Every structure is written in C-alpha cells, then in structure tokens.
Structure 1
Amino acid sequence: MSSTALHAADQSPDPADTAGAGGGWQVAGLPGALCVAALLIISVFEITARYGFNAPTFWATEISTYVGVAAVFFSLAYAEVRGEHVRVEAFLEQLPEARRVPILRLANWLGVVFIAFCSVELSRYMVADYTAGTRNWGLMSTLLWIPQVPVVLGLVGFTSILTCRAADGAGRKHVAVLIVAGAAVAGFCAGRKGLSVAGHTVPWSLLIVIGATAISAAITTGWRSGAVMAGLLGVACAAMMLAAGGGQAGAAIVILIFVFVFLALGMQVAVALGLVGALGLIFLPPIPQTVVVAERVWNGVNSFTYTAVPMFVLMGSLLMRAGISRSLFDGLVVWMGRIPGGLAQATLTASGLFAALSGSSIATAATIGKAAGQEMLDRGYKPSLALGSIAGGGTLGILIPPSVPMIIFAAMVGVSVTKLFVAGIVPGLMVLTSMMVAVWIWCLLKPEAGHTGRAYSMAEKARAFVQFGPFLGLIVIVIASLYFGVVTATEAGALGAALALILAGFSGKLSFDMIRGALLETAALTGGILFIVIGAGMLSWLVDYLRIATMLVEAVEGSGMPVVSVLLMLMVVYLILGMFIDPISMMLMTVTITYPIVLHAGYDALWFGIALMMMIEVGLITPPVGIILFVLRGLFPQASFKEISTGSLVFVGVILANVILIAVFPQIVTWLPSLMR
C-alpha cells in the first residue's frame, strides 16, 4: 500500500503542501501537475465548444491522449518521492528494520536496472520514429517522436530518483547517477547487438546497464549490495533461458516465481511486473523482443480511455480538500439518526457517496472513519459495529461509479467505460442496501451494539440536506451525463472536477494552495496507478505469447468442472490475493488469465468487471491481513484487532452473498446498460 495514499485520505499535509514556495517536491511534480491542468482545460473547452457553440474540435481527443501520457511519465519521479508507487509490503513488515532496509535497497537497485533499460530502448524507438518521420494515423497526423519526448524525459527522471533512493544515506549519490546515466548512453550507442550466451542473445544494452548499476551499488552501499543484485538478475536470466525450451508450463512457473520474488522484495508492483516481462521478452522467444519493451512502454497508456483516470482522481482530491467527508456524515446523521444503528447507517451511506467521488476504498475508510468512528464510539457503539461498518463501507470505493479500477479494466478488455460504470450502479446500490439491512438486523438482535439517536425536525433535515445535497447533485450530474451519452468518461471526470471547484468556492475552501495541492496529488497518484498498467502490459504480452490463458482454459474444459466450481475457485483466488495485494495491482496481474476462463463459463465482460470489483475489494477487509483493517487499527488504537475483524466479517459475508446473487442472476448487472442508447 502506498504510504502517502492516506495523507490525502485523512487530509493531513502532504509533501507538496508542506514544501516552501519553489521547494524541491513542487518542482519535481510541476510538469505532471501542469499536464493534469491542461487535460482539465482541454476537456472543459471541448464540452463548451460542442454544446455552447455547436463547434466540436477535431483535435481534443488526440491532444488529450498525448497530454495524458505526458502526465503519467512526468509524474513518475514525483510519485516515487511521495511514495505513491505501490509496493507489496506484507512480507517485509514481518522483518526487523535492520533487515528490511537492505532488502528495500536491493529492490530499488533492481528497479534502476529496469527503468534505465526502458529509457535506452524507448530512446532508440523514438530516434527510429524521428528518422523515419513516423506519424499518427489520426486527423492531426502528429509526428510521433514529439509526444515520445516526455516519455523519455520522465523515464530518465525516474531513473535518477530511484538511483538516489537506492543509494540513500550515501555521500556519493551523484556519482551513482552519473555512472548509470553514462551506462544508458553507452547502451544506446551499442545498438541492438548482443552477446551470445548458451544459444541466447543477451542485448549489450542490458548487460551494460546491469554492470553499471552493480558498480553504483558497490560504490554507494557496499560490494555485497552490487553482487547480490547482479547475482539475482543472473539467476533470473538463467532461469528464463532454461524455461525457453521447457514448454508453456515451465515458462509459466518461472514467470510466476520471479513475480512473487520481486514483489516480496518490496519492489514497486509496476517495476516488478515490468522487469519479469522484459526479461521474458528477451530470453523466452527465439529472438529477443527488445522492440516490444519500448512499444509496451510507449503504448501502455497511449489511449484516450486512460485520460479519465486523472480527471476522476482530481475530482476526488478537490472534494476531499473541500471537506466533503464531514459534511456528508453530519448531514446524513440528521436523516438517519432514528433508525436502529443510525450512526452506522449514516456511515455506510456516507461511505457510498464518498466512494463514488473518490474511487478509493482506502481513502473512503480512512476519511469517513476519521469523521464517524470516534463519534460512534463516544456514543456507546460497540467497536465491532462501529469500525466494522466503516470497513464495510470502504469496500464500496471501486464498485459505485465513477471508479478508477473500472476505467482500467474497461481499457484492458475493450469494453465501454460508460457501460461498465452504468453496470455498477444497481449492484453498488444493492450491496450498500444489503449492508444497511445487516446493520439493522444486527441492532435488532443486539440492541446494545448500536445507539438510536434523537428525532430531528424537518427544518433540521432541510438544513442538513443543504450540507450534502450539492455533492449528491454532482454525482447525479456526472453519472447522468454518462448514461445519456452527453459526454465521454474523460469529459465526465473533467465536468465533475470543474463542479468540485465551484462547490469549493461556495464553501470558502477554494484557494491557490488548494488547487496546487490537488493537482500535485493527482499527478503523483496518476503516475503511480498507470505505471502499473505499463508494467502489467509488458507481462501480459508475454502471457499472450506463451498462450498461458489458452492453456488454462483448455485445462478447465478438460477437467469437466461445472461453472459453479470454476467461479468458486476464482473467488478463493481473489480472496487470498486481496489479503496481500492492492486492488488495481491484483486486477492487472490476473485479468489476462482469468478473463478467458470467465468467458468460457458463459459470462460477459460487463458481468466479470462488476464481479471482479466486488471480489478484489473483499480482500481489503478479510482477516488476518486486510489493509483497511490495519488502517482502522491505526486510527483507533483503543479498539482491538479482534473487534475490528469480527465486525468486518459480517460485511464480507454480505458482499460474497451479493457476488453469488449476481452470478445466479447476471441480469442484475446487464439490465441497466441494456437500456442505454
């Protein structure tokens, strides 16, 4: 889990907010933040031109796509500074500090190798496009080397930051950066030639980068650090060479082993997936596919669909900074106070609304939890009900649209983002209602668990509605504009962000510092999220090349397993993975393999997308290692982990029951999208 993801969630200061004017953090994040601002302006301009002047542009889609790509790569270094690149830390957290630090350093040195190698290959790719005068097929016929420049610059900046991070505490960081930079130049000059090793061609660019990184590690952190890094990569390369002649199963096992090894070392998920994919592309095919490495880096997020991600992230960031969480909870308490477990009911409803705005389960649990948890405990609620309802409500973060993971899933499988958003409305409301019913029954069976509040007058309810009504209206406008085809997903996010700015202005929270902080935060989160897409795309190409998904589908067919057994097996897999890996990373790691199996079982992409959102969220609140449980334990140290876990299990059961329900009646998911024009 990203360490600073919670800074935004609990509205505590982030690096961007605490740095002085012109501070290093702000300078590093400025290019990405400016790209996010440009994307917002372009989208709002397109909406205004189309509906205000009946003069739609011909360039907005193409330019927005390139600006979105630039925002991702310009933000990679800043995301690393803020700690927004996701790592799987469940294994490292079990180790003492003295052992954890050198392992993380090793992970960073491995990351330097991968990013530096990608910089070399993408630079060569860009020069080839420049020499050939390659142009985009779009209306603007853009020379492709122009939008590729920010990609190269972003990778170079990321390499430099990772090198400094790996050499943390050493006085020779600048020497390490210069050595790695010189190796990248030398690797570029070496061309596509390679060294023949046991019948395999190893690109000189890779060998030079590995050697230079090992030297940098030896100079700054000791010879053992460099030797272990080079040795581990040597073992990985040798294993890939041996697997090349071992068939699909052997190659799949090797890939799986090194993915988990690199993740266990604490590598950024994007880098771990990408490094395994790059090594596989070099050693598993008969001829090294280094061009594919560059092509995957360039085309990984070069899609208009992904430009919706920064817009929805920006909308959520602006609303969080406008104090929406407290307003939502306070207003809903007035409307639900007399219901059994009224505060818990208000917490669940506020979580559902906030989730629709933030798209983040962890942010939802942390933010609503901070506002509601202490109040429930102070009023005599049992910790199991109070904190369990916060954990359950947090799971709605990616199910109720708009949802960043839904955008990424839609782009991966080629389904309409708008239809997927609409498909999530009924199941999302169904899960929310089920949770509220569960709380109601809980309080009827155990009245001491919850507290029934006082009755409020209609005048008080009207004033409360004024508090949260505008935010509810924003959600309705965004979803309705998508449902009726008025705007694209990106434009819907931009519309929501623009409306969030207006609401912040009316609430008196709008300021330059607020906008700057939201833009910087959006840039960092976008870079951290979408770089995982790039790393996973590299690995997915390898999985497709090896036909691993086809092999698994054939195995399922041959086993004669009934559909129910297949679905139960996938549910168990996602439950286990969800305990250790964040939702987006888990989705990107598995969809290439599980999607064909689900199609074979007779379900479509829309159904799988919604079922997947529900399953990967369950892992966040499943004991013993659900991430949200630890977030709540940190917020409320007076509550025992057992009490939090006991309360969360009720909502785990509710979500699983709803998964079974949509499996039996898939029309629950497909009905509303089928009504769209």
Structure 2
Amino acid sequence: MTDVMIGVLGIGGLFALMILRTPVAFAMLLTGFFGVWWMDGLRRASAILFTETYSSVSNYNLIVVPMFVLLGNIASEAGFSRALYDAAHAWVGRFRGGLASASVIGCAAFSAVSGSSVATAVTIGRVALPEMKRFGYASGLATGAVAAGGTLGFLIPPSTGFVIYAILTEESIGRLFMAGILPGLLMSVLFIVAIWVVTWRDPSRGPRGEAVPFAQRFALFLKAAPLLAVILVSIGGIYLGMFTPVEASGIGAGLVILLALATGKLNRFAFTKAVGDTVKTSAMLYMIVVGANVLNPFLAITDIPAALGHMLTAFGLGPYGTLVVILLSYVVLGMFLDGLAMLVVTIPIYYPVILGLGFDPIWFGVVAVIVIEMGMITPPVGLNVFVVRGVAGDVPLATVFAGVVPFLIAMIVTLLAIIAVPGIALWIPDSMFG
C-alpha cells in the first residue's frame, strides 16, 4: 500500500470518527498518532505526541485566545453588549428594518471583543430577538440577521479563526487581524443592504421603530463608548504598532475588567462565570491546536498535500479554477463540519497548494474564513442557525434557514469582491507591515 493511500485511509478514518461524534480535537489526535505509529513505529508516534503537545500549549502566540475570550465574556456578563445594541438601536431603529440593522451593527461591534461566532450570536440574540419580536418583525428576518451577524465574530478581529490559521501556517497573527477589518466592514454593510432589500420588498417584515430624541441617542452612545474605547485601544494599538496582538489581548482584557469593576457591573458570581467559560472555551481551542499539530506530521509523511497539488494541477484548471474547486470543497464540508473543524482539517492540506499556485497566504486566510462562515449558516449543520433557534425558542428551524438566505447572498458578494480585488483584504496589512 502506498503512502498516499495510507493517508487517504487516515483522512477517511478522521471523518468517520467525527461522524461518530468524536470531538474534532481527539479525532485528529487519534488519527495522527495511530497513522504515524502505522508508518514509522510507536517510538516516533509517541515522540510526536509529547513534543507537539508541549510545543502547542507553550506557544506564546496562543495567549491571545484566552485573553480575548475573557474580554468578550466579561463584556457580556457586565452588560456592555446590551449597551452596544441599545446604542445601535437608538440610532438606526427608526428606519425600516432598523432593529435588524442594529443587530448586525451590534454583532460587528461585539465581534471586535469576542472573536467567536457562536458567542456573538448568543450574546446579541438574547438582547435583540425579544425586541424584534415585540415590534412585530418577521421571525425569519429577525433570526436570520442575528445568525448571519454572528458569523462576523469569525472574521472581524480578534478572530479565533485567524489565530488558529496563523498557528497552523506560521503566518503573522497581526497581519491576519488587520486583513479581516475591511472585509468585515464590507460584509456588515452588505448585510444591512440585504435587510433594506427584504424590507423594501415587504415593509411588514421589518416595521420602523420609534424615533429616539438626539439627546437620548447621544446618551446611549456615551454609555457604549467605554467598550468601544477598549476596542479602539486593542485593535488600534496593533494597527499603530504600539503593541503586538498578544499584548493587545492582555491590555484589552485588563481594561474591560477594570471598566466593569469601576462601573460596579461585575460581581463575584459574574466574574467566576466569565472565567469558567473562558477556561472551557480556551481548553477546547488548545486541544484543537494539539490535535492538528499531531495530525500534520502524519499528513506530511503520507505526502497528501503534494499529491493533492499534483492532482489539481493535472486538471489544468489554472490558479483560479483550482481555487474554485477548493472553495466548493469547503461548501460541501460545511454541510457536515463546524467552522473550526473545517479549518484545522483542511488548512494543512490546502495551504501548500495555495502557495504553489502563487496566492497570498494572508489573502487566502480571509477567503477561507469567509467560506467557513457561510458553512455556519447553511444546512444541515449551520451551527449559528441552531444556536439562534435555541435562543429564539419558538421559531421553526426551517424559518431560520430561510431567513439567512439574503445574508448568504451578501456573503457570496463579499467573497467575489475580495477574490476580484485582493486589496480589500491586503491593503491594511500591506500598508502596516510593508
């Protein structure tokens, strides 16, 4: 049996384990360990397991994960996320579809502190969905806006998706963070355009809210301003070169804790819960990195990435034709796997192919994250859809999936724009890092 065939069997076993609901981290770890054992013996497999586990958990750059997760959890427990939504609601709620637009704006703002798609959808959904229901919004538009808006947490920095991509490819976390800013803003604008189109065709789906006096709007903006200031300090500090992403994560988490304590919005119970949730999320992400780093040597030994590159080249599709094939494979995988699983399983295989085709790896990181985001709102998995449906309670799952269709179109438009104009993703990091 050839090495490539062993690799194919290993990947098949990996998917079989995930279909059997084995956590993705352990599925990768088991596949990598036993695959290397089969090919190079137990001693080599044991050495890889121990060395990769240590090097993964001791990776200095991974500190950004627990720090930014803690930042988002503290902001949520202290009620700062509600302040973001209330401010957005006050400014745009009086327009047709305004509450749905406020949900998208709230998701975009909270994404800049949470870095998590699911956390963003849950946090804003708990605040926004009852309000939209009270004002008579169509269930599909309301839940669709929150589910799609939540995906911004995977794109707008500090994105856990970019952190994992950077660890797997040894690219710069700072460059990836900066590359996600303009695409994230573009997608947010297109989501609001999608809401406008839906409510223009049927105004009853998103009635106008009550007009809020300017003084009250300004007061609500000031209430949200401290958290916005934390976002500007964290992300702006990276842009200005004042500190690294790791330092930015620590400064952001420290500032939001001080802010919560100073305003009296953080008691011992809320702080304990935020820390506990941070530990759980961080442990899961660290295990995924460990699993990926144990799987990667197995894939390298079997020459799967090289074989895939040769196969795609043999098709004669050219760079962009090959890129289309890769992106379509993400669409198919998105029907069965969640976002992080897709990222950690595919990047070690596709990354060498992308480099061989001459594409910018930072640009591809943004493209891959957007396609993975699409998988978060498409059936049958659609993790964000299930999460939002759980928050909404009485809305049928089919209604939520139907509601995300206009936003899915907006995501496709964003993806095509970035493929056609790579500068949308690369202009900021190139201007910063040269």
Q: Do they superpose with TM above 0.5? A: yes
| 1:264 equivalent in alignment to 2:22 | no
Aligned match of 2:28 in 265, 273, 278?
Answer: 273
2-side partners of 1:633 and 1:321: how far apart? 21
Identity of aligned residues (%): 34
| Distance in 2, Cα, partners of 1:509 & 1:580 | 40
Give yes or no for the alignment of 1:248 onto 2:248. no
Separation in 2 of the partners of 1:653 and 1:252?
36
Contact between 2:28 and 2:295, CA under 8 Å: does it hold in 1? yes
Deviation of residue 670 (structure 1)? 0.7
Q: 4+ residue stretches of structure 1 with deviation over 6 A?
A: none
SS in 2 for 1:676: helix
- 1:254-403 correspondence to structure 2 within 5 Å: 254-285=9-40, 288-289=43-44, 290-403=46-159
Cα distance in 2, alignment partners of residues 657 and 440 from structure 1: 16
Q: CA deviation at 1:436?
A: 0.6
Equivalent runs, 1:111-260 vs 2, <5 Å: 246-260=1-15
Deviates more, 1:373-382 or 1:421-430: 373-382
- 3-state secondary structure, aligned to 1:319: helix
Deviation at 1:286, TM superposition (A): 6.6
1:279-311 CA distance string (max 9 Å, x none): 111111378513222212222233211111111
Task: Provide the residue aligned with 1:537 in structure 2.
Answer: 293
Q: Contact (CA 8 Å) 1:361, 1:397: kept in 2 or not?
A: yes
Aligned-partner Cα distance in 2 for 1:302–1:506: 33
CA distance in 2 between partners of 1:325 and 1:636 (Å): 18
What TM-score, normalized by structure 1, do the two folds share?
Answer: 0.62
Which runs of 5 or more residues in structure 1 are unaligned? Answer: 1-245
Q: Is the 8 A contact 2:52 2:294 kept in 1?
A: yes
Instruction: Determine if the alignment matches structure 1 residue 670 to structure 2 residue 426.
Output: yes
CA distance in 1, matches of 2:343, 2:300: 16
224, 237, 258: which is aligned to 1:468?
224
Partner of 2:182: 426
What is residue 438 of structure 1 aligned with on the other side? 194
Say if 2:373 is the partner of 1:617: yes
Q: Confirm or deny: 8 A CA contact 1:315 1:357 kept in the other structure.
A: yes
SS in 2 for 1:536: helix
- Per the normalisation by structure 2, the TM-score is 0.96
- The Cα of 1:275 is off from its aligned counterpart by 0.9
Structure 1 residue 448 displacement after superposition: 1.4
The answer as to whether partners of 2:336 and 2:380 remain within 8 angstroms in 1 is: no
C-alpha distance in 2, partners of 1:461/1:274?
A: 52
Further displaced range: 514-523 or 586-595: 514-523
Residue pair 1:281, 1:293 contacting (<8 A) in 2 also: no
Provide, for residues 352-390 of structure 1, a one-character-per-residue CA deviation record: whole Å limited to 9, x for no partner.
111111111111111211111121122111111111111
Task: Say what the alpha-carbon RMSD is for the aligned residues.
Answer: 1.6
How far apart, CA to CA, are the structure 2 residues paired with 1:520 and 1:337?
35
Between the aligned partners of 1:346 and 1:299, the Cα distance in structure 2 is 42
Confirm or deny: 8 A CA contact 1:317 1:521 kept in the other structure: yes
Aligned length: 432
The residue number in structure 2 matching 1:511 is: 267
Match of residue 528 from structure 1: 284
Does the CA contact (< 8 Å) of 1:276 and 1:539 recur in 2?
yes
**Counterpart code for 1:271:** F
Question: For the residues of structure 2 that align with 1:377 and 1:512, how far apart are their CA atoms?
Answer: 33
Take 1:490 and 1:340, find their aligned partners in 2: how far apart are those partners?
A: 41
How far 1:471 sits from its partner (Å)?
Answer: 1.4
Mapping for residues 565-604 of structure 1, pairs under 5 Å: 565-604=321-360
Is residue 555 of structure 1 aligned with residue 311 of structure 2? Answer: yes
State whether residues 71 and 113 of structure 2, in contact with CA within 8 Å, keep that contact through their aligned partners in structure 1: yes
1:413 corresponds to = 169
Higher percent of residues as helix = 2
Q: The residue matched to 2:348 in structure 1 has which SS?
A: helix
8 Å CA contact retained: 2:3, 2:301: no
Once residues 384 and 276 of structure 1 are traced to their aligned partners in structure 2, the CA distance between those partners, rounded to angstroms, is: 40
Partner Cα separation in structure 1 for residue 431 and residue 280 of structure 2:
37
Can you list the C-alpha shifts for 1:127-162, whole angstroms capped at 9, x where unaligned? xxxxxxxxxxxxxxxxxxxxxxxxxxxxxxxxxxxx
Equivalent residues of 1:579, 1:627 under 8 A apart: no
**Pair member with larger Rg:** 1
What is the rounded CA distance, in whole Å, between the counterparts of 2:41 and 2:262 in structure 1? 63
Higher RCO (CA 8 Å, separation ≥ 6 residues): 2
Q: Which runs of 5+ in 2 are unaligned?
A: none
Separation in 1, partners of 2:68, 2:357: 33
CA distance in 2, matches of 1:657, 1:584: 23
Q: What is the CA-CA distance between 1:601 and the residue it aligns to?
A: 3.0
- Which residue is equivalent to 1:459? 215
